[in-house]
Structure 1
Amino acid sequence: MMIDTIEPRLAVIVVNWNGTGRSLACLRSIIATGYPGLVPILVDNGSADDPRSRFETELPDVTVLRLDENLGYAAGCNAGARWALDAGAHFLCFLNNDTTVEADVFRELLAAARRHPDAILGPKIVYSRDPAMVWSAGGELSGPWMRNRHIGRDQPVSAHGSSQRVAWTTGCALFVSSATYRRLGPLDEGYFLFLEDIEWCVRGNRRGIETWYVPGAVVRHEVSGSTGSLPADHVFYYGCRNTYRLAFSQQLGRDRLWMSGELARTMAVMALRWVLLPAFRRSPFQRARAHALLDFVRGRRGPARFSPAGRGEPSLTAARSASRLSPRLVMVGGGLIAASLLVVVSSVAGLNILLLALALMTVTGLAAWRWPVAGAVFFVAFTPVNRFVLLVFFHSAGGGTLTRFGLLWKEGLLAVLLVRVLTDVLFPTRTTVRRIRYLDLLLLLFILMNAVYLVYPGPQETDLFTRIQGFRTDSSFLLAYFVGRGLHLERRHVRWLLVALIPGSLCVGAVAVWQFLAPNQANLVFSQLGLQDFITLQGAAAADAIRSRGIGGLDLPRASSLQLGDLALAFFQIVLVGVAAALFYESRSGRRRGWTGAFLLLMIVTLLFTVTRSAVIALGPILVFAAIFARSAVKLLALVAVMAAVGLAAFTWYGADATMLQKLIDPSEGSTQSHLVLFDRSIDTIAAEPLGHGLGTAGEIGHRQLGDRAINNENWYLQLASEMGPLAALLYLAAVVLMVMQCIGQYRRVKDPWLRTLALGVASGGVGFLVEGNFLHAWDNTVLSMMFWLLAG
């Protein structure tokens, strides 16, 4: 198309619906550009207040087209375009009425049109409240569902100064030549609101019409100003229905078949929840979503045909107010009073230790019920030091019965949180409903499979108590994931969860360094606290706090710190190294890089002091994995350099040489050969009983309950396969892999720095466990596994 270089006629079309004030401000900014060939047009979509009189008085040069009813944004744009084309316009620009334009916006767009005469053009759109921040610099599409994302959202304007081809540009501001509009055809009015702009750009791309982002043209946008008077559940309805409509209109063949299956699964799950959960039916979100799915399947177009949330129904923004005293508050208050009375009575009766402990447990449980997020934060904060605290309690109480009861603190607290989460799901006080994920179903399937083996005693005819212990070790910790999924978290709560890990972890690291440097002194202190009796109380063989490992003629002490076991400490540090690496890689200021780097280095040193070779092997994948997704290669190299310097100094101080390093990586070393022998035996054991030998026949529980008859795997996945068959091992492996993938997906999507850190840290820890599980029973540390899956949820 030949473009008139003098003054091509430009029709600027603004669609108005019950927003005359915004439309006046928008058109004033358009006229203020002073472009000579300007044809300003206002299309009123059946507003309650007719804007024609105000425009005749205040902006008489604007052509006002009045529609009898609200036909949607696309219909309004098309009505204005038809009038403009009949009037001889060379170019069309569609603008939301909650925008204002910079002075040179149209000249920049016309200059871009000379470079790309057949393209759809989109300007740089910034926030009205903060013009230094980008709202949209074009858009991207991904996957068969055509998930859309604004490029540059919440980034500085300087970051997007180059023109580029994009997948789509928002209907907030669209610019095309008249010839391109005729070639493309009008916007699809069936969408009514939302995504008609994306469909138009995708349609153009299929016809060879490109979409370009023009950074020199700047438009300011008051986000959601044009739809602010629309009911919130209707906004949700249009987004849901039109997403399905767009995706199915563009996909063919296998993708469309897969999407049809996904749609059927979604509708089946929704139908089940609709029947079983009254709160689900009351939620305006789910009500709107159900209408959207049904209308899509029926092929309905245009406006929504259901009433917004009515009287007596919860809205999407208003919280339900309490008009009477909450029974939950009465129960918690009564429990706290009862616990206080118990403390007083115990003091008078001289039963301080026993009843004080019971009172503390009661208060903790009630507090966790009343404030579940605080309960989860306490769980995370207490995990690093829990075993040492119980050891001190055992030493002070001088008895084993109450200590055994105390060892179940994690199960008790988790049970309280789980019941509270289920109560919130069944009797919600807010309208947020989480969608079911594949990981949820996978973990439920694994837990149900374990539950089946509670009934099945296996070929060894294990007793019910052993099977219950096996269930507790193999799968009960996964319930923490559903606690995490059910908690209603705010941004500050995510920060609390991460910060809660740090104090206990610092204590763990400091004690580990002390144990490594002064093992004899540390053994004496822990022996005086009664460590051997405490370990025996749990059914394990008594051992020193610091064992040793001979490598290359040197006996290296193996730190156990406050975890009271070198392997338990190694497993704990795998999680902490992942979290610390995420904190370090996500740090932006120099000061934060300093303290997060020091924290990461301490966590790495603590792991190395366990002298657990498999955990050391897992260290590399954790650090590299986190660095790749955080795009922090420079920080990784700096970390490696510091580690090398510290390691060299430590080896020199300890008198080690190259022979010791060679022994560490020698495949013929005794520990490596033992793992290979156990691997071969495990395969034979699994082949002998493909359905498994039963819960509690392998791992730590097997050794406690069955002694020499226990199956020894030294591999978590083979342990599961030995007990419940290969399917159980594959299910758990798939669940961990899927969890890592979902965490990385969240890391890429979210903007909040603490949530990004949590997602990257959990994913990195999951990678470490994937590696470690091939060498040791990495998930046997129940409290650690609970904490990990709580964070993952």
Structure 2
Amino acid sequence: MTEPTVLTVILNYRTPDLTIRACEAVLRDMQGLSGELIVVDNASGDGSADRLREAAAAQGWNTDSRFRIVESSRNGGFGAGMNLGMLAGLSDGAAPDFYYLLNSDAWPDPGCIRELRDFLIATPGAGLAASGVRGVDADPHSTAFRFPSASGEFEAAARTGPISRLLRNRIITLPLPPTRTPVDWAAGASLMIRRETFLATGGFDEHFFLYFEETDLCRRAALAGWETWYLPDVCVTHIGSASTGMKVWRRTPQYWFDSRLYYFTKNHGRAYTIGTTLALIAGTLIWRLRQLIRPKPSSDPDGFLNDLITHAARRVLGLAPATPKPVAALPEDSR
């Protein structure tokens, strides 16, 4: 029997040094596995692709066809870049059995890739498997979630004990599971996808530039009958937001609001989207009131509430569900 193949895809956007470190970790972890690593440069425009090629040549990554660089002609965001890498397939033109998506600022622990692959092989109903994620300070990151909802958004914005207790079964961010367990969705920082699941979903919806694309993919996978699992006992180290700068946002970018609105409208319709936005506004107002009563540090970017209201008022009236862009055919199945 031929060993199942894994294609690891790393998306680079102006983080060549971090990407090189991620490549080194991946190639070490894929020793003894059948598969390849592909780096998609998402139109960085800063010489990243040349820097990656130089590193590959210096470290001998090009000698056995296990490493490639693909340059995108545009920065279409996370989903578009990952789709490009997955659709490229293996160097012989075949489609792999599994796709492992890894952030450019993440490094898998030894055995991580094999464990994710073997779990999917042993669990026929699982279409996606996410590893645990820790920071460089060794603190675990919350990367397992429930699907967003109006009540979940209200709870997350209000950040108030009685509300959280009342809506405990709707809280979007799950407590870190102690054992392997199915979840609604998991972050794409370290995520393995079964080929059949990619075929069933068509890959990422490229209408999302950044954020909510993994949520949407896992939701479509669930509707197609595939589970998403979270495996806390295998892990990657992740810096976080190296390309997006989310940790130091002074204002929430337009694309975050666009992605949020598109996700809810596509999956739940316009009326529910309006209700969810009103719930988010109401929760944020409750948090603001709490700050007036008892000063608390704000975790929201500057102008978040005003930007949310302005964006919703401008977009909701003309909002209509969009049809996801079609994804090109996968490379020929080698089975």
Structures share a fold, TM > 0.5? yes
1:47 equivalent in structure 2: 44
Deviation per CA, 1:398-454: give whole Å up to 9, x if none: xxxxxxxxxxxxxxxxxxxxxxxxxxxxxxxxxxxxxxxxxxxxxxxxxxxxxxxxx
1:108–1:91: structure 2 CA closer, same or farther, 3 Å change rule?
same
2:255 paired with 1:238: yes
CA distance in 2, matches of 1:39, 1:241: 34
**Letter aligned with residue 186 of structure 1:** G
1:720 equivalent in structure 2: none
2:200 equivalent in structure 1: 183
2:116 paired with 1:109: yes
Structure index of larger Rg: 1
1:127 equivalent in structure 2: 135
Aligned-pair distance for 1:204?
A: 1.1
CA distance in 1, matches of 2:68, 2:275: 49
**Contact between 2:100 and 2:190, CA under 8 Å: does it hold in 1?**
yes
Aligned-pair distance for 1:292?
A: 3.5
1:233–1:46: structure 2 CA closer, same or farther, 3 Å change rule?
farther
Deviation per CA, 1:564-607: give whole Å up to 9, x if none: xxxxxxxxxxxxxxxxxxxxxxxxxxxxxxxxxxxxxxxxxxxx
1:193 equivalent in structure 2: 210
2:244 equivalent in structure 1: 227
Q: SS at the partner of 1:121? A: strand
Structure ranking higher in strand proportion? 2
2:5 paired with 1:9: yes
Q: SS at the partner of 1:134? A: coil
2:173 paired with 1:150: yes
2:144 equivalent in structure 1: 138
2:223 paired with 1:206: yes
CA distance in 1, matches of 2:279, 2:118: 49
Aligned-pair distance for 1:16?
A: 1.0
1:87–1:230: structure 2 CA closer, same or farther, 3 Å change rule?
farther
1:27–1:150: structure 2 CA closer, same or farther, 3 Å change rule?
farther
CA distance in 1, matches of 2:186, 2:172: 10
**Contact between 2:150 and 2:275, CA under 8 Å: does it hold in 1?**
no
Q: SS at the partner of 2:141? A: strand
Deviation per CA, 1:701-733: give whole Å up to 9, x if none: xxxxxxxxxxxxxxxxxxxxxxxxxxxxxxxxx
1:260 to 265, 274, 292: 274
Aligned-pair distance for 1:54?
A: 2.1
Aligned-pair distance for 1:263?
A: 4.8
CA distance in 2, matches of 1:128, 1:300: 42
Count residues in correspondence.
272
Aligned-pair distance for 1:81?
A: 0.8
Aligned-pair distance for 1:55?
A: 2.1
Unaligned segments of structure 2, at least 5 residues: 154-170, 282-301, 323-335
1:239–1:146: structure 2 CA closer, same or farther, 3 Å change rule?
farther
Structure 2 counterparts to residues 74-85 of structure 1, below 5 A: 74-84=79-89
2:295 paired with 1:289: no
CA distance in 1, matches of 2:321, 2:275: 23
CA distance in 2, matches of 1:300, 1:237: 18
Structure 2 counterparts to residues 641-790 of structure 1, below 5 A: none
CA distance in 2, matches of 1:35, 1:213: 24
2:72 paired with 1:67: yes
CA distance in 2, matches of 1:215, 1:141: 19
CA distance in 2, matches of 1:215, 1:182: 26
1:188–1:220: structure 2 CA closer, same or farther, 3 Å change rule?
same
Unaligned segments of structure 1, at least 5 residues: 154-159, 268-282, 303-793
2:45 paired with 1:22: no
Deviation per CA, 1:729-779: give whole Å up to 9, x if none: xxxxxxxxxxxxxxxxxxxxxxxxxxxxxxxxxxxxxxxxxxxxxxxxxxx
**Letter aligned with residue 151 of structure 1:** L
Give identity over the alignment, percent: 21
1:231–1:221: structure 2 CA closer, same or farther, 3 Å change rule?
closer
Q: SS at the partner of 2:107? A: strand
2:325 equivalent in structure 1: none
2:100 paired with 1:93: yes
CA RMSD of aligned residues (A): 3.0
2:28 paired with 1:32: yes
CA distance in 2, matches of 1:163, 1:49: 40
**Letter aligned with residue 204 of structure 2:** L
**Letter aligned with residue 104 of structure 1:** G
1:13–1:262: structure 2 CA closer, same or farther, 3 Å change rule?
closer
**Contact between 1:47 and 1:70, CA under 8 Å: does it hold in 2?**
yes
CA distance in 1, matches of 2:251, 2:28: 35
Aligned-pair distance for 1:75?
A: 0.3
TM-score, length-normalised on structure 2?
0.71
CA distance in 2, matches of 1:222, 1:264: 33
1:580 equivalent in structure 2: none
Q: SS at the partner of 1:214? A: strand
